[in-house]
C-alpha cells in the first residue's frame, strides 16, 4: 500500500548522484564542527584568528550549500546526494544524509544566516567560545535538516540545545540565565517525548519485520494500529510544536528571543524554530499519515489561534524583540496551518514560508540590534523619531516590515498566500479566520514602526547620537534585502524545487491516510462541467 | 504594438529604481523632472498601445500578455502578465495622463521640501503599482498592484513623518485598506476554489459552474475589498484623515486614481456581478448611502481639503451606485470626469494653500479671487463640473448614473438626486468662503496669533499669490478636461457614445436603457440641470457674504456622523484593552503561569525525593533521561499489548 509513493519520497532520486564521489552533505554537516575543534587549539587572545576562522568556515559552508543548490535536480521529488554509512550496525543506526525539496532551502537559508549572525552583531567578549558554540550549532542545525535516520536526526535535534543554551546564558541580556534555563528545560522535556516515540516506533517495526532500523523510509512502512499511531504522532509532535513554537507551548520563546544576543535571536527564530515545523512536515506527515488526518484539525486550530492570539499579544508589547517574538508565533501558526491542511498548495506554502520567515525575521533582529547598539534599549517607549537621524536604516526597516506583513512583491506574500489558498480548499473556515491575521499583522507592525521611527524631530535623539548605518552594517543586511525582494518577485525557481517533494508527500498522506482532499494537479470541478462552461 | 504594453509600467518602475539609487545626487529639481518625464513617457506608451488596440476589430480587443511564471504549486499557477483590453487601457490612459499633470504640479508644490527626491520616488512607485493594478491579467497581479498602491498611500500620507497626525493617518489608511484586502483575498480564494483559475479570461469562461450563492459571496467579498480601497460605508473614515498628506498626493491618490481602484475592480469582475443580482443591489444601496452620507459631511467641514475628501467619498458612492445598477460604462464615465474635476479642485486647493502660506481653514480665507484669479476661475470650473451644471462634464456623467438608477428603482434615483443638490451646494459653500466675502486672513492676523492659529512662518504677513507655471499649467489642462469631458460619451445620439462603444466588448452595453425614449432622456436632463442649479443658487445666497451659519454646520456633520468616533469607542478601545489583557494576564499569568507551576511542582518533588537541588542543567537533563526510560518502557508494554 502506497509503496511507490514511499519510494518516491525516500528513494534515491537520481542514480548518478548516489554514486557521487564527493560527499557534499557529510562535509557540509561536519565542516563547522571540525572548525570548532580546530578553534579549541587557537589561543583565546588571538581574536583576529578566531574571527577569521569563524567567518571563513561559515562562508565556506555557504559556498558549499550553493554547490548543493546547483547540483540539486529540480523537478525531482526524492532524496538527492544521499550518503549512507552504517554507524552502529547492530542497532540499525546509520549515518545517512540526503536532501530534497523540503530540506534544500532550509539548508541554504541556515548556511546564509550563520555568517550573518556571526558578522552582523559586532564585537563581543570571549569571542573564541562564542564562535565555537556557534559553529557547533551550525553543524547541529544542518545535521537535523539533512539526516534521514531518525536517531541521527534526534541526536542533532538535541545537540542544538547545548550551544544555544550557552549562547543565551553566556552572551545574553539581563535575564539571560532564567531565559536560557527555561528554554533548555522546556524544549528538552518535549524532546524526551520524541525519543520515546522513536524508540517505540523502532520496536514496533522490529516486531513486524524482525529488522532493527532507524531509517525513515523503512519506518514509514510500519503498520500501526490507530491508537499506536496516534500516541506516536503525539510524542513526535509535542517536541516539534514546542520547538516551533506553536500556541500554547510558546512562552519560552519571548524570553529566549528577547534575552538572547542578536546572533542568538537570529539563529533561534530564523533557523531553530524551523526544526519544529520541518519535523512536522518531514516526520509527522510521512510516518503517521492515518493519525495526521485525524489530528490535523486540532493542530490547525492551534495554528489559527497562534495567528490571531500571537498578533493580539504582539500589539501589546513594549519591547521590540518581544514584539518580533509574538509575531513569530503568528507566523509559525501560518506554517502549521499550511502543513496540516494537507494540500499541495498549503504544504508548499508552508515550506516556502519557513525560508521566508527565516530571512525577514533575521533581518528584523539585525536591525533591532543596530538600534540597540546605538541606544542601549529594546524598549519602544524611549525610542522616538529615529527616521530623522537614520533614513536609510528606517527605509530598510520599512522594507522588512512590509515583507513580514505579507505585501506582494516581497517574500512574505507568496508563502502566506499559498498557505491560505490551499487551506481554503480543504478547510474553508480555518482560512477565513487566519486571513484576519493579515489585518492584525499590519496593526502591530505599523504601530511599532510609527512609535520608533516617526515622531517630531524635537523628540528624536540629538544630532550625532544616532548615526546612520555603517558600511559594514549595510553589507550584512544587503543580502537579506536582496533575497526579500528576489523571493517576492520570482519565487518560481524555489517553488519548482519544493513542489515535487511536497506533491509526493501529500499524495502519500492523502492515499494512505484517506484524507478527503483533492489530489494535486486535479481541479476541484469536474472536467465535464468545465467543458459545459467554456462555451460562452 | 500591443507588445509594447510592458513599457507602460516599466517607465515609472525605472523612475523608482533611478530615484532609489541616485535620488539624493539628482537632487531638487532634477529628480522631480526625471520622475515627471518617465510618467509622461508612460502616458505616451499608453497612447500608442491604445491606438494599436483601437485599430483592431472590436472582438479582437482582449489580449493577454503573459510575461513569466510568478509562482506555482499544486494546481495554482500564477503568471505575471497583463490583460490589454479597452477597460484596462482606458484606466491606464487616465491614470498616466492625470499622474503626469500631478507630477508636473508637484515639482512646484514640493520645491521647498527636504524630502523632495523621496516624494517623487514614492510617487513613481505609486504610478507603477496603480498600472499593475489596472493592467494585471489575473487577480494576483491586480492584488499586487492593489497592495502596492495601499503601501504607497501609507508612505505618502505619512510623508511628513514628524507630524503625529500624518503618521497616524497613514497607519489608519493602511489598516482600513487591509480590512478590505482580507475580504478581497477571501474572494480570490473562493474564485480559485470554484473555477480552478485566477486568470480573468479563464475565470469568466467558467462561471457557468459556480453556484448562485458562491457568486454572491464572491461579489460581496470583492466589494468589501473595494469598500476599503474606495472609502465606502462602513470603511470610509480613513479618507478624511488621509488629507494629512501633501496636496498633490490627495489629488492623485485620494481623489483621481487609487480610490477609484475599487470601482475598477467591480467593473473588471462585471461578469460575476452580472450573475449575482443580490450582490449588485447591495452594492448600489451602499453606494448611494455613502454618496449621501459623504455629501452631508462635506457641508460642515472647515478644512479646504476635508470638504473635498468627503466629496470624493460621496462621488465614489455614485460610482458604486452605477456599478450596482449594472451601468459599468456610466461608472467608468463618472470615474474619468471625476478624475478631471476632483484633481482640478484638489490642485486648486493646493494652489490656495500654497498661496496662503499653508493655511487650510476656509473660515480664515475669503476674497481670494482678487489675488488668485486663475485659481478662482479653474476652481469654479471644477465646482460647476462636480455640481452637474450643463454643459460641464459632470452633468453628463452624473446624469448617466442617475438615469440608470431610475431604471433599477426610483428610490435609488431619489437619494442620488437629493445628493446631487447637496453636492452643488457644499462645493459652492467652499467656493464662496474661499474666493468671495471679506479678506478675513488680513484683518484677523493678530487675533489669529493670539488664538494659537499662527505658527507657520510664512502664514503671517500674507501675500496671496498665484503659483508658478508648473502649477498653473496642470490647472488649465484639467479645467479644459473637466469642461469638455462630457464629449467622451454624449448621450444625444448613438454614434456619440464613444466610451460606451469602446468599452462594450468588456462590460456590455448599459448606457441606453432600452425603455428610455429620447423624450425621457431629455426630461431627466432637464430635472438634473434644475437640481444642480438649485444647489448652486442656494450656496450663492447662503454663503456669498456670510461666514458662519451654525444651523447649517451641525456638529454631527462636522464629525462625519460620529462614525469614526464610534469605531474608536466601540472597536479600537476594547481591542486595545483585549490586547493588554491577553499580554499581561492570559499570556504571562495563565499560560506561562501553568508552565512555571508545573516546573515548580516537579522541582519541589524532585528536591524532596533526592534532597539535591543543584540547579545545574545537567541534573535536570539526567532526570529527564531517567524519566524517558520509564516512559519508553511503558510505551513498549502498551504497544505490544
- pLDDT of B457 reads 40
A149 interfaces chain B, CB cutoff of 8 Å: no
User: How does pLDDT run across B513-528, given as a tens digit for each residue?
Assistant: 545 677 888 888 899 9
* Candidate from A517-521, B501-505, B577-581 with smallest mean pLDDT: A517-521
Q: Phi, psi (5° rounding) for residue A86?
A: -55, 140
For B21, name the nearest residue in chain A, comparing CA atoms only. A392
- pLDDT-derived band at B505 (thresholds 50, 70, 90) equals confident
- pLDDT-derived band at B487 (thresholds 50, 70, 90) equals confident
A429 interfaces chain B, CB cutoff of 8 Å: no
- pLDDT of B603 reads 76
- pLDDT of B97 reads 95
- CB contacts of B179 in chain A (<8 Å) are 439
User: How does pLDDT run across B268-321, given as a tens digit for each residue?
Assistant: 999 999 999 999 999 999 999 999 999 999 999 999 999 999 999 999 999 999
User: Closest partner residue to A442 among B178, B617, B639, by Cβ?
Assistant: B178
Distance from CA of A365 to the nearest CA of B (A): 21
- pLDDT-derived band at B625 (thresholds 50, 70, 90) equals low
Phi-psi region of B63 (alpha: psi -120 to 50; beta: other; left: phi over 0): beta
| Mean predicted lDDT score pLDDT of chain A | 89
| Rounded Cα distance, B408 and B415, in Å | 13
- pLDDT-derived band at A535 (thresholds 50, 70, 90) equals very low
A418 interfaces chain B, CB cutoff of 8 Å: yes
Does the pTM exceed 0.90? yes
| pLDDT above 90 (res A121) | no
| Rounded Cα distance, A331 and A345, in Å | 17
- Cell matching residue A104: 534544500
B76 interfaces chain A, CB cutoff of 8 Å: yes
Segment B322-332 shows an average pLDDT of 93
Segment B102-119 shows an average pLDDT of 92
- CB contacts of B167 in chain A (<8 Å) are 450, 454
Residues B397 and B491 sit within 8 Å (Cβ to Cβ): no
Instruction: With CB atoms and an 8 Å threshold, state whether B639 touches A432.
Output: no
Instruction: With CB atoms and an 8 Å threshold, state whether B175 touches A432.
Output: no
Instruction: With CB atoms and an 8 Å threshold, state whether B144 touches A409.
Output: yes
- pLDDT of B53 reads 93
A436 interfaces chain B, CB cutoff of 8 Å: yes
* Candidate from A252-256, B404-408, B564-568, B605-609 with smallest mean pLDDT: B605-609
| Rounded Cα distance, B150 and B141, in Å | 14
| Rounded Cα distance, B55 and B433, in Å | 49
- pLDDT of A74 reads 86
- Cell matching residue B377: 476661475
- pLDDT of A120 reads 78
User: Closest partner residue to A184 among B74, B151, B617, by Cβ?
Assistant: B617
| Degrees to nearest 5, angle at CA A389 with A385 and A392 | 105
- pLDDT of A171 reads 92
User: How does pLDDT run across B398-453, given as a tens digit for each residue?
Assistant: 998 998 899 889 999 999 999 999 999 999 999 999 999 888 887 555 554 444 44
Segment A524-534 shows an average pLDDT of 37
User: How does pLDDT run across A330-341, given as a tens digit for each residue?
Assistant: 999 999 999 999
| Rounded Cα distance, A403 and B495, in Å | 50
Reduce the secondary structure of A289-342 to three states and give it as a string: HHHHHHHHHHHHHHHHHHHHHHHHHHHCCCEHHHHHHHHHHHHHHHHHHHHHHC
- Burial label, B372 (beta-carbon count in 10 A; 0-12, 13-18, 19+): buried
- CB contacts of B574 in chain A (<8 Å) are none
- pLDDT-derived band at A523 (thresholds 50, 70, 90) equals very low
For B188, name the nearest residue in chain A, comparing CA atoms only. A421
User: How does pLDDT run across B40-83, given as a tens digit for each residue?
Assistant: 999 999 999 999 999 998 888 999 999 999 999 999 999 999 99
- pLDDT of A8 reads 52
For B159, name the nearest residue in chain A, comparing CA atoms only. A454
| Rounded Cα distance, B305 and B323, in Å | 27
* Candidate from A2-6, B301-305, B385-389 with smallest mean pLDDT: A2-6
Radius of gyration of chain A from its Cα atoms, rounded to whole angstroms: 23
User: How does pLDDT run across A339-348, given as a tens digit for each residue?
Assistant: 999 999 999 9
User: How does pLDDT run across B142-177, given as a tens digit for each residue?
Assistant: 999 999 999 999 999 999 999 999 999 999 999 999
Give the DSSP letter string of A408-444: BTBHHHHHHHHHHHHHHHH-HHHHHHHHHHHHHHHHH
- pLDDT of B451 reads 46
For B639, name the nearest residue in chain A, comparing CA atoms only. A228
Residues B324 and B291 sit within 8 Å (Cβ to Cβ): no
| Rounded Cα distance, B297 and B314, in Å | 9
Residue of B479, B480, B488 whose CA lies nearest to B345: B479
Instruction: With CB atoms and an 8 Å threshold, state whether A420 touches B140.
Output: no
| Rounded Cα distance, A250 and A268, in Å | 13
Residues A410 and B151 sit within 8 Å (Cβ to Cβ): no
Instruction: With CB atoms and an 8 Å threshold, state whether B617 touches A532.
Output: no
Residue of B420, B402, B400 whose CA lies nearest to B496: B400
Distance from CA of A491 to the nearest CA of B (A): 6
Residues A248 and A129 sit within 8 Å (Cβ to Cβ): no
- pLDDT of B443 reads 59
**What is the three-class DSSP state of B365?**
coil
Calculate the CA dihedral of residues A169, A171, A172, A177 and round it to 10 degrees. 20
User: Which whole-number Å values give the CA distances from B143 to A353, A424, B135, in the listed order?
Assistant: 19, 18, 11
User: How does pLDDT run across A437-468, given as a tens digit for each residue?
Assistant: 999 999 999 999 999 999 898 888 888 889 99
CB contacts < 8 A (A, B) = 213
With residue B94 as reference, give the H or E element that holds it.
helix B86-109
User: How does pLDDT run across A401-449, given as a tens digit for each residue?
Assistant: 999 999 999 999 999 999 999 999 999 999 999 999 999 999 999 999 9
Residue of B446, B444, B420, B264 whose CA lies nearest to B366: B444
- pLDDT > 70 in chain B, percent: 91
Cross-strand partners of B76: B73
Q: Phi, psi (5° rounding) for residue B608?
A: -65, -40
User: How does pLDDT run across A14-69, given as a tens digit for each residue?
Assistant: 444 444 568 889 999 999 999 999 999 988 888 888 889 999 999 999 999 999 99
For A530, name the nearest residue in chain B, comparing CA atoms only. B206
Taking a contact as any Cβ pair under 8 Å apart, which residues of chain A between 263 and 282 contact chain B?
A: none
**What is the three-class DSSP state of B527?**
helix
With residue B634 as reference, give the H or E element that holds it.
helix B617-640
Instruction: With CB atoms and an 8 Å threshold, state whether B179 touches A502.
Output: no
Q: Give buried/exposed letters for B389-414 (b at 16+ CB in 10 A, else e).
A: bbebbbbbbbbbbbbbbbbbeeebbe
Residue of B346, B337, B338 whose CA lies nearest to B303: B346
| Mean predicted lDDT score pLDDT of chain B | 89
For A231, name the nearest residue in chain B, comparing CA atoms only. B635
Supply the ipTM of this predicted assembly: 0.91
For A183, name the nearest residue in chain B, comparing CA atoms only. B617
A442 interfaces chain B, CB cutoff of 8 Å: yes
Highest mean pLDDT among A173-177, B39-43, B205-209, B485-489: B39-43
Instruction: With CB atoms and an 8 Å threshold, state whether A524 touches B171.
Output: no
- pLDDT of B618 reads 62
- pLDDT > 70 in chain A, percent: 92
- Cell matching residue A371: 538600534
Residue of B171, B149, B145 whose CA lies nearest to B158: B171
- CB contacts of B638 in chain A (<8 Å) are 228, 231
Tally the C-alpha atoms within 13 A of residue A354's C-alpha that lie toward its C-beta: 37
Reduce the secondary structure of A230-253 to three states and give it as a string: HHHHHHHHHHHHHHCCCCCCCCHH
Phi-psi region of B512 (alpha: psi -120 to 50; beta: other; left: phi over 0): beta
Amino acid at each position: 500500500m502506497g509503496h511507490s509513493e514511499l519510494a518516491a519520497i525516500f528513494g534515491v532520486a537520481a542514480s548518478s548522484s548516489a554514486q557521487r564521489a564527493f560527499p557534499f552533505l557529510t562535509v557540509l554537516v561536519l565542516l563547522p564542527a571540525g572548525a570548532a575543534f580546530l578553534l579549541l587549539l587557537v589561543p583565546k587572545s588571538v581574536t583576529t584568528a578566531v574571527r577569521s576562522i569563524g567567518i571563513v568556515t561559515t562562508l565556506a559552508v555557504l559556498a558549499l550549500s550553493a554547490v548543493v543548490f546547483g547540483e540539486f535536480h529540480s523537478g525531482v521529488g526524492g532524496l538527492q546526494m544521499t550518503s549512507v554509512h552504517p554507524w552502529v550496525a547492530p542497532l540499525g543506526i546509520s549515518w545517512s544524509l540526503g536532501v530534497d525539496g523540503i530540506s534544500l532551502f532550509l539548508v541554504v537559508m541556515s548556511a546564509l544566516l550563520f555568517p550573518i549572525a556571526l558578522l552582523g552583531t559586532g564585537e563581543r567578549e570571549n569571542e573564541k567560545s562564542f564562535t565555537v558554540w556557534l559553529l557547533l550549532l551550525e553543524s547541529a542545525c544542518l545535521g537535523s535538516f539533512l539526516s534521514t535516520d531518525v536517531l541521527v536526526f534526534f541526536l542533532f535535534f538535541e545537540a542544538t540545545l547545548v550551544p544555544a543554551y550557552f549562547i543565551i546564558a553566556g552572551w545574553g541580556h539581563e535575564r539571560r540565565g532564567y531565559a536560557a534555563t527555561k528554554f533548555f528545560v522546556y524544549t528538552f522535556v518535549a524532546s524526551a517525548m520524541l525519543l520515546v516515540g522513536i524508540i517505540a516506533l523502532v520496536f514496533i517495526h522490529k516486531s513486524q519485520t524482525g529488522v532493527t532500523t532507524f531509517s525513515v523510509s523503512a519506518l514509514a512502512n510500519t503498520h500501526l494500529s490507530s491508537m499506536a499511531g496516534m500516541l506516536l504522532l503525539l510524542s513526535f509532535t509535542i517536541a516539534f510544536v514546542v520547538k516551533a513554537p506553536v500556541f500554547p507551548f510558546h512562552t519560552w520563546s519571548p524570553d529566549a528571543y528577547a534575552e538572547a544576543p542578536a546572533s542568538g535571536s537570529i539563529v533561534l527564530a530564523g533557523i531553530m524554530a524551523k526544526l519544529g515545523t520541518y519535523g512536522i512536515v518531514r516526520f509527522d506527515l510521512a510516518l503517521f499519515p492515518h493519525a495526521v488526518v485525524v489530528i490535523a484539525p486540532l493542530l490547525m486550530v492551534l495554528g489559527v489561534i497562534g495567528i490571531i492570539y500571537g498578533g493580539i499579544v504582539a500589539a501589546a508589547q513594549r519591547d521590540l524583540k518581544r514584539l518580533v517574538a509574538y509575531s513569530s508565533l503568528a507566523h509559525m501558526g501560518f506554517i502549521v496551518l499550511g502543513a496540516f491542511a494537507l494540500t499541495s498548495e498549503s504544504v508548499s506554502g508552508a515550506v516556502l514560508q519557513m525560508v521566508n520567515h527565516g530571512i525577514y525575521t533575521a533581518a528584523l533582529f539585525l536591525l533591532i540590534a543596530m538600534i540597540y547598539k546605538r541606544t542601549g534599549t529594546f524598549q519602544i517607549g524611549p525610542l522616538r523619531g529615529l527616521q530623522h537621524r537614520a533614513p536609510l536604516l528606517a527605509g530598510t526597516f520599512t522594507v522588512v516590515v512590509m515583507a513580514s506583513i505579507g505585501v506582494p512583491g516581497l517574500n512574505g506574500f507568496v508563502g502566506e498566500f499559498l498557505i491560505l489558498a490551499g487551506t481554503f480548499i480543504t478547510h474553508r473556515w480555518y482560512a477565513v479566520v487566519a486571513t484576519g491575521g493579515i489585518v492584525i499583522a499590519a496593526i502591530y507592525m505599523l504601530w511599532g514602526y510609527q512609535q520608533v521611527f516617526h515622531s517630531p524631530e524635537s523628540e528624536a535623539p540629538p544630532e550625532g547620537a544616532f548615526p546612520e548605518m555603517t558600511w559594514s552594517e549595510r553589507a550584512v543586511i544587503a543580502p537579506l534585502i536582496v533575497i526579500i525582494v528576489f523571493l517576492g518577485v520570482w519565487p518560481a525557481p524555489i517553488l519548482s524545487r519544493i513542489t515535487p517533494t511536497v506533491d509526493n508527500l501529500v499524495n502519500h498522506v492523502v492515499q494512505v491516510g484517506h484524507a478527503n482532499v483533492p489530489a494535486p494537479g486535479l481541479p476541484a470541478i469536474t472536467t465535464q462541467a468545465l467543458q459545459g462552461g467554456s462555451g460562452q | 504594438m500591443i507588445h509594447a504594453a510592458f513599457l507602460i509600467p516599466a517607465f515609472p518602475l525605472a523612475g523608482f529604481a533611478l530615484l532609489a539609487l541616485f535620488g539624493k545626487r539628482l537632487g531638487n529639481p532634477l529628480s522631480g523632472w526625471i520622475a515627471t518625464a518617465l510618467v509622461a513617457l508612460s502616458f505616451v506608451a499608453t497612447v500608442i498601445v491604445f491606438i494599436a488596440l483601437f485599430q483592431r476589430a472590436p472582438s479582437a480587443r482582449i489580449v493577454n500578455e503573459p510575461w513569466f511564471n510568478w509562482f506555482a504549486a499544486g494546481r495554482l499557477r500564477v503568471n505575471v502578465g497583463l490583460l490589454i483590453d479597452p477597460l484596462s487601457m482606458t484606466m491606464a490612459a487616465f491614470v498616466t495622463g492625470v499622474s503626469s499633470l500631478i507630477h508636473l504640479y508637484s515639482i512646484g508644490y514640493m520645491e521647498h521640501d527636504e524630502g523632495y527626491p523621496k516624494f517623487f520616488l514614492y510617487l513613481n512607485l505609486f504610478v507603477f503599482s496603480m498600472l499593475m493594478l489596472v493592467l494585471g491579467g489575473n487577480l494576483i497581479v491586480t492584488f499586487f498592484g492593489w497592495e502596492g498602491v495601499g503601501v504607497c498611500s501609507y508612505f505618502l500620507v505619512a510623508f511628513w513623518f514628524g507630524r503625529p497626525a500624518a503618521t497616524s493617518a497613514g497607519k489608519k489608511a493602511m489598516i482600513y485598506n487591509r480590512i478590505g484586502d482580507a475580504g478581497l483575498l477571501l474572494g480570490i480564494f473562493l474564485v480559485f476554489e470554484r473555477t480552478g483559475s485566477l486568470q480573468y479570461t479563464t475565470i469568466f469562461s467558467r462561471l457557468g459552474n459556480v453556484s448562485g450563492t458562491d457568486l454572491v459571496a464572491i461579489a460581496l467579498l470583492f466589494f468589501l475589498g473595494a469598500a476599503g480601497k474606495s472609502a465606502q460605508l462602513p470603511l470610509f473614515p480613513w479618507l478624511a484623515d488621509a488629507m494629512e498628506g501633501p496636496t498633490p498626493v490627495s489629488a492623485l491618490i485620494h481623489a483621481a486614481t487609487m480610490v477609484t481602484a475599487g470601482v475598477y475592480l467591480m467593473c473588471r469582475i462585471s461578469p460575476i456581478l452580472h450573475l449575482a443580482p443580490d450582490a449588485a443591489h447591495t452594492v448600489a444601496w451602499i453606494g448611494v448611502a455613502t454618496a449621501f452620507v459623504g455629501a452631508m459631511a462635506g457641508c460642515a467641514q472647515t478644512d479646504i481639503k476635508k470638504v473635498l475628501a468627503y466629496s470624493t467619498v460621496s462621488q465614489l458612492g455614485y460610482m458604486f451606485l452605477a456599478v450596482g445598477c449594472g451601468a459599468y460604462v456610466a461608472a467608468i464615465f463618472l470615474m474619468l470626469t471625476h478624475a478631471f474635476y476632483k484633481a482640478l479642485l484638489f490642485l486648486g486647493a493646493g494652489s490656495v494653500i500654497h498661496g496662503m502660506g499653508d493655511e487650510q481653514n476656509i473660515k480664515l480665507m475669503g476674497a481670494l479671487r482678487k489675488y488668485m484669479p486663475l485659481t478662482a476661475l479653474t476652481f469654479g470650473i471644477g465646482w460647476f463640473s462636480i455640481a452637474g451644471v450643463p454643459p460641464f462634464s459632470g452633468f453628463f456623467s452624473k446624469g448617466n448614473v442617475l438615469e440608470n438608477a431610475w431604471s433599477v428603482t426610483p428610490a435609488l434615483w431619489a437619494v442620488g438626486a437629493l445628493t446631487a443638490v447637496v453636492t452643488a451646494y457644499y462645493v459652492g459653500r467652499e467656493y464662496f468662503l474661499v474666493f468671495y466675502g471679506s479678506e478675513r486672513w488680513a484683518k484677523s492676523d493678530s487675533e489669529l496669533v493670539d488664538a494659537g492659529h499662527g505658527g507657520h512662518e510664512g502664514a503671517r504677513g500674507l501675500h496671496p499669490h498665484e503659483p508658478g507655471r508648473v502649477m498653473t499649467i496642470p490647472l488649465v489642462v484639467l479645467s479644459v478636461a473637466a469642461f469638455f469631458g462630457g464629449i467622451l460619451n454624449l448621450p444625444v445620439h448613438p454614434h456619440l457614445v464613444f466610451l460606451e462603444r469602446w468599452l462594450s466588448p468588456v462590460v456590455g452595453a448599459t448606457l441606453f436603457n432600452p425603455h428610455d425614449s429620447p423624450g425621457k432622456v431629455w426630461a431627466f436632463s432637464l430635472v438634473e440641470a434644475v437640481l444642480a442649479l438649485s444647489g448652486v443658487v442656494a450656496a450663492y445666497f447662503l454663503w456669498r457674504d456670510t461666514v458662519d451659519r451654525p444651523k447649517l454646520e451641525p456638529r454631527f456633520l462636522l464629525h462625519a456622523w460620529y462614525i469614526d468616533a464610534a469605531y474608536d469607542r466601540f472597536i479600537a478601545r476594547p481591542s486595545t484593552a483585549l490586547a493588554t489583557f491577553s499580554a499581561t494576564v492570559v499570556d504571562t499569568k495563565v499560560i506561562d503561569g501553568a508552565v512555571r507551576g508545573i516546573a515548580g511542582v516537579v522541582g519541589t518533588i524532585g528536591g524532596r525525593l533526592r534532597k539535591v537541588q543543584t540547579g545545574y542543567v545537567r541534573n535536570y537533563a539526567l532526570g529527564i533521561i531517567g524519566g524517558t526510560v520509564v516512559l519508553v518502557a511503558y510505551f513498549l508494554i502498551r504497544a505490544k499489548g
